[in-house]
Homo-oligomer: A and B are copies of this chain.
Amino acid sequence: MKHYVTVNDIDSSSDWIDLAGELKKDPFKYKELGRGKSIGLLFFNNSLRTRLSTQKAAFHLGMHCMIMNFGSEGWALEFEDGTIMDQGKAEHIREAAQVVSQYCDVLGVRAFASLSNKEQDEAEIVLNGFKKYATIPVLNMESAIEHPLQALADLITIAEKTEKKSPKVVLSWAPHPKALPHAVANSFVKIMKQNSQFNFSITHPQGYELNPDITKDVPIVYDQEEALAEADFVYVKNWSSYSSYGKVLSTDPHWMITKEKLGQAQFMHCLPVRRNVVVEDAVLNGDQSLVMEQANNRTFAAQVALYKILKGL
């Protein structure tokens, strides 16, 4: 049984990129593959792009889609084993995951980091709870520490837009008023590392180091101007501190991305984006922005992942 819960589940980047290209040209090419198959999409958090693009991908593959906002529509879940469930939790993940497996052929799960309990977040209690007890493949629609559908869409976008074999790609932190998870940044770093042709580095203020197990061997440059010099792609994203877990240490506006800072590089962001906080209007409104291509590629990233899952059923 094949899951797609981390970018590590990609067995061949080039094959996956090629398949995305093929699907983009002919989205309904494999519409028979999912016939009679149901995918359940369980949302523990809000979603716009993931919600619509995953449905669209399933539609292209001929799948039947069932969606639940689990928090408001289902039952509060218990994730601990051996608990006496006499408090607020009505259902254990063991039952919930197995039950959903009775009704679906594939299971999508979105469950963000709490940013308050590092140990629980790193254990991916929701995603891994479903993965452990479900008897069907699991599709990660953004978990506490990874967002592999986004990273795959990002990789496809860079592959489409690069004119160089080894483009310089920089992941830059940017300010944000709220504490945000690390999932998008983590998955982007991992997928950049998996594809060694990229000249990849990270820039952020001191104290914003991502999990060092993930960034191992990636150059970290604390001077943003130096980092961005001669970049071909600048991927911008806010995240909260990892060492001071979930804290906002800085909202320094000097880290905002401007058209000037961008130079000749193409701009990337996963969206939603805070205009004139993360990046100035001139970038988003200009022709160096790839954010709409990234959003569009979310459909084909999801479709590639579902294709691989369906083939493995």
Contacts and interface: CB of A to CB of B under 8 A. Distances in A.
Tell me which of A48, A69, A285 has the highest count of chain B C-beta atoms within 10 A of its own C-beta. Answer: A48
A68 B41 CA distance: 14
Given A28-B36, A87-B177, A275-B92, A102 B72 contact: no
Contacts of A310: none
A102 B56 CA distance: 10
A104 to B, nearest CB: 7
Tell me the dominant secondary structure on chain A's binding face: mixed
A83 B51 CA distance: 27
A95 B293 CA distance: 12
Interface in A36-85: 36, 38, 40, 43, 46-49, 51-53, 55-56, 59, 64, 66, 68-69, 72-75, 78, 81-85
Given A276-B83, A277-B86, A73 B46 contact: yes
Given A284-B95, A292-B102, A295-B99, A85 B52 contact: no
Interface stretch (A161-169, A222-230, A266-274): A266-274
Contacts of A99: 48-49, 271, 292, 295
A308 B131 CA distance: 37
Contacts of A81: 281
B103 A56 contact: yes
Contacts of A96: 48, 272
- Assembly stoichiometry (copies): 3
Nearest to A40: B52
Contacts of A90: 272, 274
10 contacts: A38-B56, A48-B91, A53-B103, A55-B103, A56-B66, A81-B281, A82-B281, A86-B251, A91-B271, A95-B291
Interface of A: 28, 36, 38, 40, 43, 46-49, 51-53, 55-56, 59, 64, 66, 68-69, 72-75, 78, 81-87, 90-92, 94-96, 98-100, 102-104, 177, 251, 271-277, 281, 284-285, 291-292, 295-296, 298-299
Given A46-B74, A56-B66, A86-B274, 16 more contacts: A38-B59, A47-B74, A48-B75, A48-B99, A69-B73, A82-B281, A83-B276, A87-B177, A91-B271, A91-B273, A92-B272, A95-B271, A98-B292, A102-B295, A102-B298, A103-B299
